[in-house]
């Protein structure tokens, strides 16, 4: 899914995601740092409380009249334990070396909830500790608290008891500060996110603008036309390299297009020359044979000499006319029709063009008496004549030949159709039907159709055809007509 996103979307998402990741990491680090600092703070505070109370206990042990032994701890701290707890504002307990509770600074009703004997685990941890101190972490009713255990020593530093100092962690103030800090941090990252979104939008737009320009130019590239080179102001190194490559490709494409066009023109004219030469040779052969035959059989004393000369002349004239027709067809195809626009009644001109044909199977229909268009009269007649000639060549072997020429209006065009029931056009010839090839085959392909297409397109019209082999062909020509219902 991500691979299908545009470059602009990727830049936008990556920058936004980067800010979000930074927000999560920074928040997590802040919370971790807070918890570590809070842990160190409570640990240091517990040590200070413990040191203060132990200092007070040592002072009492120095001033008491009782011997500093384990058995006398209950008497020594009978009242002093409350004074110390009141001064230090901290409850504490005193156990003997076996873990039995001796004295507690808590009120009597709270002493019931205390453990009267320390566990063996606590005693072992305290005994094995290098500094003879053990801190236990517990939780009660959802609140965390610590309990420190340290030996009480006499004046000769001999252990005579165990000092237990419970310490409840009050994090309400710190939690409130953390909450305020996270809210400020969230506000800062929200502003950063908005700035990142804006920057991502403008940066992605700036980066992809040049790419969009290149994309648009590539979409407009036409292999058949001259393409413009790409110019971008202040491009980046990557874009500049892309533009240079594109412009080099355009130069190569232009050279290739020129070479291809030249090659196609040369090939077309070579093909045309071959076919024209072939068609010229066709009448030359019978002319040569006729001359040779006449030369061998010529006898001035022959009583039928006049008749034979007439037949010989007739044969030569026919072949000469054929060659003249070939030359005229080639000349007409090569000559571009001049746009001598005349206001013509197309229906009338088409009827006039059909008058030269004597075939009784040619029929004309039109539902309108007058359809006006601006065309050249001669060129329009040439179009109709060539289409009808092709239709006549397509029906010589048909039992009941039929050719129908119709003129109708179709929107803003005048449509001329020439339909026949002849042999049709095979699939192999359809793509080349309008190519400039000359032939006298009955399929009707030759210079005529190429010339018709040339004329029609010159007058902004179009020519199409449909054909079914063995059933017939319909050629359709469309020219823009004049609509007198609209004013200029």
For 358-387, write each residue's pLDDT tens digit.
889 999 999 899 999 989 888 888 899 889
Distance CA 402, CA 421 (A): 6
What pLDDT score does 350 carry? 93
Residue 131 pLDDT class (50, 70, 90 cuts): confident
Q: Is 90 exceeded by the pLDDT of residue 114? A: no
CA atoms within 13 A on the CB side of 233: 0
Please give the Cα distance from 199 to 195 (Å, whole number). Answer: 6
Q: Domain 338-480: which topology?
A: Heat Shock Protein 90 (3.30.565)
Residue 440's pLDDT is 40
User: What are the residues whose beta carbons fall under 8 Å from the beta carbon of 204, sequence distance 6 or more?
Assistant: 7, 8, 9, 11, 12
pLDDT at 32 over 50: yes
- Which pLDDT score is estimated for 372? 92
Q: Where are the domains of the chain?
A: 2-175, 237-333, 338-480
Q: What is the mean pLDDT of residues 407-426?
A: 92
Q: What's the confidence (pLDDT) of residue 442? A: 41
* Per-residue pLDDT reduced to its tens digit, 320-331: 776 776 666 666
- 37-41, 310-314, 356-360, 409-413: range with highest mean pLDDT: 409-413
Check residue 487 and give its pLDDT.
40
- Choice between 441 and 177, residue whose per-residue pLDDT is larger: 177
Alpha helix ranges (H) inside 4-151? 7-63, 73-76, 80-88, 108-111, 120-128
Which residue carries 């004046």 as its tokens? 155
- Judge whether residue 7 has pLDDT over 70: no
Q: Please give the CATH topology (third level) of the domain spanning 2-175.
A: Beta-Lactamase (3.30.450)
Q: What is the mean pLDDT of residues 30-57?
A: 86
Pair of tokens at residue 168: 């409840």
Rg over alpha carbons for the chain, rounded to the nearest Å, is 57
Query: Higher confidence at residue 292 or residue 334?
Result: 292
Least confident of 48-62, 124-138, 241-255: 241-255
pLDDT at 171: 67
Q: How many CB atoms lie within 10 A of CB 325?
A: 13
Confidence of residue 445 (pLDDT cuts 50, 70, 90): very low
Taking a C-beta distance cutoff of 8 angstroms, is the pair 179, 186 a contact? no
d(CA 413, CA 375): 13
> Does pLDDT of 467 surpass 70?
yes
Q: Most confidently modeled of 158-162, 207-211, 225-229?
A: 158-162
Q: pLDDT averaged over the chain?
A: 80
**Whole-number Å distance between alpha carbons of 369 and 363:** 16
- Of residues 324, 318, 326, 320, the one with CA closest to residue 273: 326
Can you give the pLDDT at residue 3? 59
Question: pLDDT tier at 347 (50, 70, 90 boundaries)?
Answer: very high
What local confidence, expressed as pLDDT, does residue 325 receive? 67
- For the domain 237-333, what is the CATH code? 1.10.287
pLDDT for res 464: 93
* In the predicted structure, residue 168 carries a pLDDT above the cut 90: no
Stretch 121-133: mean pLDDT: 89
């Amino acid at each position: 899914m991500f691979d299908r996103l545009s470059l602009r979307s990727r830049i936008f998402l990556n920058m936004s995601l980067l800010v979000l990741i930074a927000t999560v990491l920074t928040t997590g680090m802040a919370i971790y740092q807070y918890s570590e600092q809070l842990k160190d703070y409570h640990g240091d505070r517990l040590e200070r409380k413990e040191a203060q109370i132990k200092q007070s206990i040592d002072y009492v042990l120095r001033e008491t009249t009782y011997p500093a032994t384990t058995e006398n701890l209950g008497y020594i701290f009978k009242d002093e334990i409350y004074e110390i707890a009141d001064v230090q504002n901290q409850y504490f307990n005193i156990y003997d070396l076996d873990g039995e509770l001796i004295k507690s600074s808590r009120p009597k009703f709270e002493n019931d909830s205390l453990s009267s004997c320390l566990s063996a685990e606590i005693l072992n941890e305290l005994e094995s500790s290098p500094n003879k101190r053990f801190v236990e972490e517990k939780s009660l009713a959802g609140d965390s608290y610590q309990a420190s255990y340290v030996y009480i020593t006499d004046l000769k530093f001999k252990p005579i008891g165990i000092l237990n100092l419970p310490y409840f962690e009050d994090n309400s103030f710190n939690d409130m500060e953390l909450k305020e800090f996270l809210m400020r941090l969230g506000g800062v990252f929200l502003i950063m996110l908005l700035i990142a979104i804006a920057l991502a939008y403008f940066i992605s737009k700036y980066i992809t603008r040049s790419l969009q320009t290149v994309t648009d130019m590539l979409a407009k590239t036409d292999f058949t036309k001259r393409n413009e080179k790409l110019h971008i102001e202040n491009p980046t190194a990557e874009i500049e390299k892309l533009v240079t490559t594109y412009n080099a490709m355009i130069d190569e494409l232009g050279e290739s297009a020129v070479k291809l066009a030249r090659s196609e023109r040369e090939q077309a004219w070579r093909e045309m020359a071959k076919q024209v030469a072939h068609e010229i040779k066709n009448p030359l052969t019978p002319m040569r044979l006729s001359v040779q035959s006449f030369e061998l059989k010529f006898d001035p004393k022959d009583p039928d000499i006049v008749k034979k000369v007439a037949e010989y002349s007739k044969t030569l004239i026919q072949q000469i006319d054929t060659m003249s027709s070939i030359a005229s067809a080639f000349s007409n195809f090569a000559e571009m029709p001049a746009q001598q626009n005349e206001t013509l009644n197309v229906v009338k001109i088409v009827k006039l063009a059909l008058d030269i044909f004597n075939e009784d199977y040619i029929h004309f229909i039109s539902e309108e008496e007058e359809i006006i268009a601006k065309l050249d009269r001669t060129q329009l007649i040439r179009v109709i004549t060539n289409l009808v000639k092709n239709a006549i060549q397509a029906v010589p072997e048909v039992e009941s030949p039929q050719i129908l020429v119709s003129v109708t209006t179709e929107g803003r065009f005048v449509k001329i159709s020439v339909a026949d029931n002849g042999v049709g056009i095979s699939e192999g010839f359809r793509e080349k039907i309008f190519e400039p090839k000359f032939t006298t085959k009955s399929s009707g392909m030759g210079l005529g159709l190429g010339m018709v297409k040339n004329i029609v397109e010159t007058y902004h019209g179009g020519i199409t055809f449909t054909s079914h082999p063995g059933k017939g062909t319909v050629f359709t020509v469309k020219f823009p007509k004049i609509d007198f219902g609209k004013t200029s």
